[in-house]
Copies of this chain bind each other. A is one copy, B any other.
Amino acid sequence: MDAQTRRRAPEATRAEIIDMAIEVAAEQGAMGLTLDAVVARLPFSKGALLHHFPTKPALLEGVIDHLAGEMTAQVLEEAGRDPNPYGRNARAYLRATVNDPVTERDVSIGRAALVACAVEPGLIVRWRAAMRALAEDDPVDPAGKDDALMLRLIADGLWMSDLFGTHEVSPEQRKALLSLLTPGVLLAEAGEA
Protein backbone atom coordinates (compact mmCIF):
# COMPACT_ATOMS: atom_id res chain seq x y z
CA MET A 1 0.00 0.00 0.00
CA ASP A 2 2.16 2.82 -1.25
CA ALA A 3 1.49 6.50 -1.63
CA GLN A 4 0.21 6.05 -5.17
CA THR A 5 -2.53 3.64 -4.38
CA ARG A 6 -3.39 4.75 -0.87
CA ARG A 7 -6.65 6.59 -0.81
CA ARG A 8 -6.50 10.08 0.57
CA ALA A 9 -8.55 11.12 3.58
CA PRO A 10 -11.85 12.54 2.35
CA GLU A 11 -11.73 15.46 4.74
CA ALA A 12 -8.33 16.45 3.48
CA THR A 13 -9.67 16.35 -0.05
CA ARG A 14 -12.65 18.47 0.89
CA ALA A 15 -10.36 20.94 2.58
CA GLU A 16 -8.14 21.11 -0.48
CA ILE A 17 -11.11 21.75 -2.70
CA ILE A 18 -12.39 24.52 -0.48
CA ASP A 19 -8.95 26.08 -0.26
CA MET A 20 -8.60 26.13 -4.01
CA ALA A 21 -12.08 27.54 -4.44
CA ILE A 22 -11.14 30.33 -2.07
CA GLU A 23 -7.95 30.95 -3.98
CA VAL A 24 -9.72 31.10 -7.31
CA ALA A 25 -12.50 33.30 -5.97
CA ALA A 26 -10.05 35.74 -4.44
CA GLU A 27 -7.91 35.90 -7.54
CA GLN A 28 -10.38 35.76 -10.38
CA GLY A 29 -13.64 36.98 -9.00
CA ALA A 30 -17.07 35.58 -9.60
CA MET A 31 -16.75 35.14 -13.34
CA GLY A 32 -13.62 33.11 -12.93
CA LEU A 33 -14.99 30.97 -10.16
CA THR A 34 -16.03 27.89 -12.11
CA LEU A 35 -15.80 24.26 -11.18
CA ASP A 36 -13.40 23.71 -14.04
CA ALA A 37 -11.13 26.51 -12.84
CA VAL A 38 -11.05 25.05 -9.34
CA VAL A 39 -10.40 21.54 -10.56
CA ALA A 40 -7.63 22.73 -12.85
CA ARG A 41 -5.61 23.61 -9.76
CA LEU A 42 -6.24 20.33 -8.03
CA PRO A 43 -4.44 17.02 -8.42
CA PHE A 44 -7.64 15.16 -9.13
CA SER A 45 -10.62 15.23 -11.40
CA LYS A 46 -13.89 17.05 -11.66
CA GLY A 47 -15.62 13.84 -10.77
CA ALA A 48 -13.90 13.92 -7.40
CA LEU A 49 -15.00 17.48 -6.80
CA LEU A 50 -18.58 16.69 -7.69
CA HIS A 51 -18.40 13.63 -5.50
CA HIS A 52 -17.65 15.75 -2.45
CA PHE A 53 -19.76 18.75 -3.45
CA PRO A 54 -22.58 17.57 -5.68
CA THR A 55 -23.47 21.08 -6.87
CA LYS A 56 -21.81 24.44 -7.15
CA PRO A 57 -24.00 25.99 -4.45
CA ALA A 58 -22.96 23.14 -2.18
CA LEU A 59 -19.33 24.00 -2.78
CA LEU A 60 -19.95 27.67 -2.10
CA GLU A 61 -21.75 26.74 1.07
CA GLY A 62 -18.67 24.84 2.11
CA VAL A 63 -16.55 27.83 1.29
CA ILE A 64 -18.63 30.26 3.32
CA ASP A 65 -18.85 27.95 6.28
CA HIS A 66 -15.11 27.45 6.22
CA LEU A 67 -14.43 31.16 5.99
CA ALA A 68 -16.89 31.96 8.74
CA GLY A 69 -15.30 29.27 10.86
CA GLU A 70 -11.83 30.63 10.27
CA MET A 71 -12.98 34.13 11.11
CA THR A 72 -14.80 32.99 14.23
CA ALA A 73 -11.81 30.99 15.45
CA GLN A 74 -9.55 33.97 14.95
CA VAL A 75 -11.83 36.24 16.96
CA LEU A 76 -12.40 33.72 19.72
CA GLU A 77 -8.69 33.17 20.07
CA GLU A 78 -8.17 36.90 20.42
CA ALA A 79 -11.03 37.09 22.88
CA GLY A 80 -9.49 34.35 24.98
CA ARG A 81 -6.59 36.60 25.82
CA ASP A 82 -8.90 39.31 27.16
CA PRO A 83 -9.28 39.15 30.95
CA ASN A 84 -12.46 41.21 30.96
CA PRO A 85 -15.35 38.99 29.82
CA TYR A 86 -17.74 41.82 29.08
CA GLY A 87 -17.75 42.66 25.40
CA ARG A 88 -14.56 40.76 24.76
CA ASN A 89 -15.76 39.42 21.43
CA ALA A 90 -16.48 42.90 20.18
CA ARG A 91 -13.03 44.05 21.21
CA ALA A 92 -11.43 40.96 19.75
CA TYR A 93 -13.32 41.56 16.52
CA LEU A 94 -11.76 44.96 16.20
CA ARG A 95 -8.34 43.78 17.31
CA ALA A 96 -8.39 40.99 14.75
CA THR A 97 -9.31 43.43 12.01
CA VAL A 98 -7.01 46.28 12.83
CA ASN A 99 -3.82 44.26 12.34
CA ASP A 100 -1.20 46.04 10.40
CA PRO A 101 0.01 44.88 7.98
CA VAL A 102 -3.13 43.19 6.83
CA THR A 103 -2.16 39.68 5.85
CA GLU A 104 -2.77 38.30 2.41
CA ARG A 105 -4.89 35.62 3.96
CA ASP A 106 -7.18 38.23 5.50
CA VAL A 107 -7.72 39.85 2.14
CA SER A 108 -8.34 36.48 0.54
CA ILE A 109 -10.92 35.64 3.17
CA GLY A 110 -12.73 38.89 2.59
CA ARG A 111 -12.60 38.72 -1.17
CA ALA A 112 -13.69 35.11 -1.26
CA ALA A 113 -16.55 35.68 1.16
CA LEU A 114 -17.66 38.60 -0.95
CA VAL A 115 -17.52 36.62 -4.16
CA ALA A 116 -19.32 33.65 -2.66
CA CYS A 117 -22.13 35.84 -1.36
CA ALA A 118 -22.35 37.70 -4.64
CA VAL A 119 -22.61 34.49 -6.62
CA GLU A 120 -25.10 32.88 -4.30
CA PRO A 121 -26.98 35.57 -2.32
CA GLY A 122 -28.60 32.89 -0.22
CA LEU A 123 -25.27 32.37 1.49
CA ILE A 124 -25.44 35.76 3.13
CA VAL A 125 -27.62 34.35 5.89
CA ARG A 126 -24.90 31.86 6.76
CA TRP A 127 -22.26 34.52 7.07
CA ARG A 128 -24.67 36.65 9.03
CA ALA A 129 -25.50 33.78 11.37
CA ALA A 130 -21.84 33.27 12.16
CA MET A 131 -21.26 36.95 12.86
CA ARG A 132 -24.39 37.25 14.96
CA ALA A 133 -23.46 34.18 16.95
CA LEU A 134 -20.24 35.93 17.80
CA ALA A 135 -22.19 38.96 18.98
CA GLU A 136 -24.73 36.99 20.96
CA ASP A 137 -22.16 34.97 22.84
CA ASP A 138 -20.74 38.23 24.05
CA PRO A 139 -22.14 39.25 27.42
CA VAL A 140 -22.33 43.02 27.68
CA ASP A 141 -24.01 45.15 30.27
CA PRO A 142 -26.77 47.19 28.61
CA ALA A 143 -24.81 50.39 29.04
CA GLY A 144 -21.99 48.97 26.96
CA LYS A 145 -24.22 47.72 24.18
CA ASP A 146 -23.88 50.79 22.02
CA ASP A 147 -20.14 50.80 22.53
CA ALA A 148 -19.91 47.19 21.43
CA LEU A 149 -21.94 47.95 18.34
CA MET A 150 -19.69 50.86 17.56
CA LEU A 151 -16.61 48.67 17.82
CA ARG A 152 -18.15 46.16 15.47
CA LEU A 153 -19.14 48.80 12.97
CA ILE A 154 -15.67 50.28 12.98
CA ALA A 155 -14.20 46.84 12.52
CA ASP A 156 -16.52 46.11 9.61
CA GLY A 157 -15.69 49.45 8.10
CA LEU A 158 -12.01 48.80 8.42
CA TRP A 159 -12.46 45.38 6.93
CA MET A 160 -14.29 46.80 3.96
CA SER A 161 -11.84 49.61 3.62
CA ASP A 162 -8.97 47.14 3.51
CA LEU A 163 -10.80 45.09 0.93
CA PHE A 164 -11.71 47.93 -1.36
CA GLY A 165 -8.91 50.26 -0.43
CA THR A 166 -11.41 53.04 0.03
CA HIS A 167 -9.50 54.70 2.83
CA GLU A 168 -5.86 54.75 3.58
CA VAL A 169 -5.47 53.91 7.21
CA SER A 170 -1.97 54.53 8.45
CA PRO A 171 -0.34 52.34 11.09
CA GLU A 172 -0.63 55.23 13.52
CA GLN A 173 -4.33 55.49 12.87
CA ARG A 174 -4.71 51.80 13.41
CA LYS A 175 -3.01 52.17 16.73
CA ALA A 176 -5.28 55.07 17.55
CA LEU A 177 -8.28 52.90 16.81
CA LEU A 178 -7.02 50.39 19.30
CA SER A 179 -7.07 53.09 21.95
CA LEU A 180 -10.83 52.85 21.66
CA LEU A 181 -10.50 49.63 23.58
CA THR A 182 -9.28 51.43 26.66
CA PRO A 183 -12.02 51.24 29.27
CA GLY A 184 -14.18 54.33 29.55
CA VAL A 185 -13.10 55.94 26.31
CA LEU A 186 -15.87 55.16 23.92
CA LEU A 187 -18.69 57.57 23.36
CA ALA A 188 -18.23 58.92 26.84
CA GLU A 189 -19.72 62.31 26.05
CA ALA A 190 -22.18 61.22 23.43
CA GLY A 191 -23.71 58.84 25.89
CA GLU A 192 -24.47 61.67 28.23
CA ALA A 193 -25.92 63.90 25.53
Q: Is the interface of A mostly helix, strand, loop or mixed?
A: helix
Distance in Å from the Cβ of A142 to the closest Cβ of chain B? 12
A160 contacts partner chain B, Cβ-Cβ < 8 Å: yes
Q: What is the 8 Å Cβ interface bit string for chain A, positions 140-174, against chain B (1 contact, 0 not)?
A: 00000010011011111111110111111100010
Query: What's the interface size class on A, roughly?
Result: 35 or more
**Which of A13-21, A40-48, A77-85, A120-128 interfaces with chain B?**
A120-128
Please determine whether B119 and A164 come into contact, CB atoms closer than 8 angstroms: no
CA distance A154 to B158 in the complex (A): 8
A114 contacts partner chain B, Cβ-Cβ < 8 Å: yes
CA distance A29 to B182 in the complex (A): 41
Q: A30-B30, A190-B182 are in contact. Are A166 and B114 (CB under 8 A)?
A: no
A9 contacts partner chain B, Cβ-Cβ < 8 Å: no
A91 contacts partner chain B, Cβ-Cβ < 8 Å: no
A37 contacts partner chain B, Cβ-Cβ < 8 Å: no
Please determine whether B185 and A189 come into contact, CB atoms closer than 8 angstroms: yes
A31, A153, A176: residue with the most chain B Cβ atoms closer than 10 Å: A153
Please determine whether B149 and A29 come into contact, CB atoms closer than 8 angstroms: no
A35 contacts partner chain B, Cβ-Cβ < 8 Å: no
In the complex, what residues of B have CB within 8 A of residue A74's CB?
Answer: none
| 12 A/B residue pairs, CB under 8 Å, sorted by A | A29-B121, A117-B118, A124-B165, A127-B166, A132-B167, A135-B167, A146-B176, A150-B154, A156-B156, A156-B167, A185-B187, A188-B188
